[in-house]
């Protein structure tokens, strides 16, 4: 399938809020890095992380507009958004994925989540 195909499957699973597919697409030593550099290591720990995020933002989705592949690395730019506590938000974002053995070994998000933090601070 190649790195780009695995990346697109992962994006589709995020947009479908399909946690079982997300976990199936992660390596056991999967690493998630958010826009502030916070790291979560391990597919098992990310299951709880995605579950919590989808509960907080039940319509969370990402749109990739530009995707570049370089061997096992996929870099995409686009936007992320959703609704938290009745307030809609949308931000520019980018993602870097490292694919290993047809699974996502690393998922790194580059985004200014200030709108999300402001929504959370107000409630």
Per-residue pLDDT 10s for the chain (123 aa) are 799 999 999 999 999 999 999 999 999 999 999 998 999 999 999 999 999 999 999 999 999 999 999 999 999 999 999 999 999 999 999 999 999 999 999 999 999 888 888 888 987
CA–CA gap between residue 82 and residue 60 (Å, rounded): 4
Residue corresponding to tokens 């938290």: 84
Neighbour count for residue 74 (Cβ, 10 Å): 25
* Domain range enclosing 54: 2-122
Q: Which residues contact 91 (CB under 8 A, 6 or more apart)?
A: 79, 80, 81, 111, 112, 113, 115, 116
C-alpha–C-alpha distance, residues 53 and 51, integer Å: 6
pLDDT of residue 123: 73
pTM for the structure as a whole:
0.93
Pairing relationship of beta strands 73-84 and 61-70 according to DSSP bridges: antiparallel
For residue 47, the model assigns a pLDDT of 94
pLDDT value at residue 114? 87
- Looking at residue 113, its pLDDT comes to 86
Structural domains counted in the chain: 1
81: domain CATH number is 3.10.450.50
Q: In this predicted structure, what is the pLDDT of residue 1?
A: 75
- DSSP H helices, the chain, are 2-16, 19-24, 43-56, 114-122
């Amino acid at each position: 399938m190649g790195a780009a195909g695995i990346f697109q499957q992962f994006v589709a699973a995020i947009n479908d809020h399909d946690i079982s597919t997300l976990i199936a697409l992660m390596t056991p030593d999967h690493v998630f890095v958010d826009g502030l550099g916070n790291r979560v290591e391990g597919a098992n720990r990310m299951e709880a992380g995605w579950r919590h995020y989808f509960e907080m933002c039940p319509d969370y989705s990402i749109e990739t507009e530009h995707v570049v592949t370089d061997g096992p690395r996929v870099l995409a730019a686009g936007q992320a958004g959703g609704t938290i506590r009745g307030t809609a938000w949308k931000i520019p974002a980018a993602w870097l994925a490292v694919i290993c053995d047809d699974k996502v070994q690393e998922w790194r998000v580059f985004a200014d989540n200030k709108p999300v933090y402001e929504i959370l601070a107000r409630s």
